[in-house]
Every structure is written in C-alpha cells, then in structure tokens.
C-alpha cells in the first residue's frame, strides 16, 4: 500500500513536539534528521511505531526518522511547506495579485538574491582591475595577471554554475544536481563560446534529423542556466512520481541529469546562439539610426538583455568596432544604462528607514560605479519593477545624448568611473554629462513616482 507523504509528515511533526519545537530540519538518502529545541517533547516510542515510518533513533543530538529512499524527500518537502498541492494553490492566489512581468522579475530576483554577494565582491574586483589596467595603463606581471583573472573572471565565466544551483533551489529541485548541470554547461571538453565567436575554435556538430546542431560551452550565459534549473527541477519532480522509491536514489538523479543536459546543450544552446546572432544584427542596425534614436533605444533596452545575460553578445561588436575605427561608440550608451540603474537604486536606498537595509543596498549599488550593474539590478531595482523601468528610462535619455554627441571611448572594457580614463583624449565632458543625466533622470523618476511598500 502506497504511503501518503502528507499524512506521515503530519504524524511525525506532531510526535516531534510540533512545529514550534523544530530547530533544524534536514534529510539524507533514507532518514529525516531533526534537531529539536526540547527533547522531552519528542515521543520516541510512538515515532518508531508510526505507520509509514521504518524506524527511529537518536544520535549525536539528532532525531533520525527512517522513511526510506525516495519517500524521505516527499515527507521533507511537506514539512518544509513545499507540498505540491499547497504550493499550487498559493501560487495561483499570488498570480491573481501580480502581473506576469512582476512574477517573472520576482522569480529572477529570487534566483539571484543568493548569489549577489559573490557578484558584488567580484564586480568590485573587476572594476578595480579595469581601472588599473585600462584606465591608468599599468602593465601587470604575468603572475599578477593570472591571479587577477582568477579573482575577477571566475564568478562571471562560471556564473551558469551559480545560476543553475540557485534556480534548482527556487524551483524545488536538488541544488547539488543544479551545480553539476551548471558545470556541464561550461565543461572544458566543449569549445568555449567566445573562442567559437572569434573564430579561434570550432563548435562540436551533432547530426540530428538531417540537420547539424552546433554545440558549444555556454560561458557567462544566464538564460540557459535559468532554463536548465527550471527544467531539471520539473524533470526531477516528474521522475519521483513514477520511479519506485527503492530506486529513487539512483534513477531520479540519472534521469534528471541526462534529460536536462540534452535539452540544455543540444536544443537550448543552439537556440541561444541563434538569438545572439539576431541581437548582434539588431544592435548594429540601431546604431546606424540618426538623431540619437538608436542610442535612446539601446540605452533603454540593454538592461532587459542584462537580466538574461544576453548583453554579453555585444562584446564581439565592440571589439570589432575598436579594431576597425579605434573607438567604441557603444561604450557611452552602455554606461548610460548602468548609470540609470545606479540612480534608481540610490533613490530606493534613500527611502529606507532601516540603517541595515540602507547599508546593504549601498553595498549592492556601489559596484555599478565600476560598471557592474547586476548587484544593484537584481537586489534593488528589478524586484521592485518600477525603479528598474525608471532606470531604463534614465539609460535611454543618457544614451540618446551620447549618440547625438557621437562620442566614443578610445578602447573598450571599462565603463562608469573607470571608463573616464578612456575619454581623456577627447569627449570626457560629454561622457560625464551622459553619466550624470542618466543617473539623475532615473533618480528623480524613482523619487517622484515610486513608493516603497511598508
């Protein structure tokens, strides 16, 4: 007879002294591991005799309830408030109160909240290196260069690992499987996405129904990692419904990794490359529109691409532009977009009455001054939606000014404050105007039209 996870969970919780008595709750392959506040409230005899429970014992201060492979995960999910039926009802109620766009942005925010500290630290280090190398022109020794690359590039190159881990956590899957999937996206056996884009390597070609699918690593990609986290969590939950509990520990991870990897690398990856090519063509087209319209569109829209990580597709364009003309005309437009998010984030920060919240928000907004916008965007503006949009408006205004002025940086790779040194040969005054106007417009719009919920 099949055991009911909800019924067993309710009985176990009651015999452990109730929800108020639970201090820590975890599980292994077969056992529920619980640390309680008051051991005297635990009914040890009844736990061992409860229907659906295979046994009970106390070890190292942990109350361990034996439930069996597979079933322990279902009971744990119920105890943690992740019951499928309950979650669905709650989600439907929440969806009635928020728009689809708000729901999507909140999901992205939930995914990135956990990895923001890593992005903040790495962003500051990256901005500092850009200032030293690209700004002041300091040539680092090979040893220092390698160490700086380890410090600054690791988190952003391997960001799919962080994202799939967090996405699996948010969507109710096994976060460890998310880490493995993220590592598979950037596996060294696959050609690096950037090497393929610059013609330094060839992608692996897989024949499929008369076509050849191009497969590469997905370094620095966010959108496919989010998809992988969501898809893998769905595959894992579906597998647990049909896989016998005795085989759950072996078959469910195997099915989850196999199906998700094929979907991510063979289908989503090639689709992503096609979208990146389309975005490249669209950006080049917009840059050719006169009267600053192209700069207005780019400055306002680039942060929507940054949400998904697609803004990295602009890198080959900027490098080719500097190689051919000596200037990067996209740089001031991207700077305007970052300044807009910084202005909106600072406005939200000033609305806070708690010193702790102000301090945390300032720490997230600060990397934007060095050209790293993700912490400010994912921690402050995007979850609140309106400040994010006002930041985009500020970026659009600044981008329009930059495009009309026709300024460009004498090099690439540095924006915001480090980028100032790329304009010392000309255009510095207008570059500062672009930054200040974009930040000021976003700041004022946020202060005037956004109210922080109580």
- Residue ranges covered by each domain of the chain: 5-93, 104-275, 299-449
Contacts of residue 89, defined as CB under 8 A and 6 or more positions apart, other chains included, come to none
Each as own residue / partner, the long-range contacts of residues 359-366 (CB below 8 Å, 24 or more positions apart, any chain) are 363/120, 364/116, 364/120, 366/120, 366/124
Two tokens at 438?
Answer: 């974009």
Name, in order, each residue with C-beta under 8 angstroms of 228's C-beta and a sequence gap of 6 or more: 160, 164, 167, 178, 181, 182, 185, 260, 263, 264, 268
Q: Which of 154, 158, 157, 177 is nearest to 167 (CA)?
A: 177
What is the reported pLDDT for 82?
47
For 5-93, give the CATH class: alpha beta
Q: Are 263 and 201 in contact (CB under 8 A)?
A: no
Q: Which residues of the chain, if any, have pLDDT below 50? A: 1, 82-97
Annotated active-site residue in 18, 26, 28, 281: 28
The answer to whether 28 is a known catalytic residue is yes
**Angle value at C-alpha 160, between 416 and 108, nearest 5 degrees:** 70
Q: What is the structure's pLDDT at 429?
A: 93
Residues 239, 70: Cα–Cα separation, whole Å: 11
The answer to whether 42 touches 25, Cβ cutoff 8 Å, is: no
Q: Which pLDDT score is estimated for 93? A: 42
Q: Give this prediction's pTM.
A: 0.61
What pLDDT is recorded for position 110?
73
């Amino acid at each position: 007879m099949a055991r009911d996870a909800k019924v067993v969970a309710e009985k176990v919780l009651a015999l452990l002294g109730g929800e108020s008595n639970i201090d820590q709750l975890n599980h292994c392959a077969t056992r529920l591991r619980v640390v309680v506040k008051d051991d005297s409230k635990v009914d040890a005899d009844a736990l061992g005799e409860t229907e659906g429970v295979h046994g009970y014992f106390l070890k190292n201060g942990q109350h361990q309830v034996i439930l069996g492979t597979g079933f322990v995960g279902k009971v744990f999910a119920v105890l943690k408030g992740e019951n499928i039926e309950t979650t669905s009802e709650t989600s439907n109620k929440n969806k009635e109160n928020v728009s689809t766009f708000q729901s999507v942005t909140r999901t992205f925010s939930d995914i990135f909240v956990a990895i923001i500290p890593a992005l903040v630290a790495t962003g500051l280090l990256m901005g500092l290196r850009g200032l030293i190398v690209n700004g002041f022109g300091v040539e680092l020794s090979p040893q220092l260069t390698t160490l700086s690359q380890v410090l600054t590039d690791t988190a952003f190159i391997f960001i799919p690992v962080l994202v799939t881990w967090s996405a699996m956590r948010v969507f109710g899957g096994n976060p460890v499987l998310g880490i493995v999937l993220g590592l598979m996206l950037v596996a060294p056996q696959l050609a690096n996405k950037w090497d393929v884009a610059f013609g330094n390597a060839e992608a692996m070609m897989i024949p499929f129904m008369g076509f050849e699918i191009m497969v590469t690593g997905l370094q620095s990609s966010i959108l496919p990692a989010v998809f992988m986290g969501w898809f893998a969590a769905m595959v894992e939950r579906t597998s647990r419904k049909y896989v016998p509990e005795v085989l759950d520990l072996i078959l469910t991870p195997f099915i989850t990794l196999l199906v998700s990897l094929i979907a991510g690398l063979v289908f989503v990856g090639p689709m992503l490359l096609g979208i990146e090519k389309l975005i490249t063509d669209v950006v080049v087209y917009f840059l050719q529109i006169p009267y600053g319209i192209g700069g207005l569109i780019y400055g306002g829209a680039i942060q929507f691409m940054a949400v998904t990580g697609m803004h990295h597709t602009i890198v080959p364009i900027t490098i080719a532009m500097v190689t051919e003309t000596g200037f990067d005309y996209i740089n001031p437009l991207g700077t305007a977009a970052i300044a807009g998010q910084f202005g909106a984030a600072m406005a939200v920060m000033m609305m806070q009455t708690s010193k702790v919240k102000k301090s945390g928000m300032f720490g997230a907004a600060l990397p934007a001054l060095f050209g790293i916008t993700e912490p400010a965007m994912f921690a402050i503006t995007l979850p609140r939606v309106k400040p994010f949009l006002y930041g985009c408006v500020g970026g659009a205004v600044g981008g329009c000014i930059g495009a009309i002025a026709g300024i460009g940086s004498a090099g690439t790779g540095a924006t915001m404050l480090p980028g100032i040194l790329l304009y010392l040969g000309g255009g510095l005054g207008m570059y500062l105007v672009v930054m200040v106007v974009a930040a000021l417009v976003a700041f004022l719009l946020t202060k005037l039209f956004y109210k922080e919920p109580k």
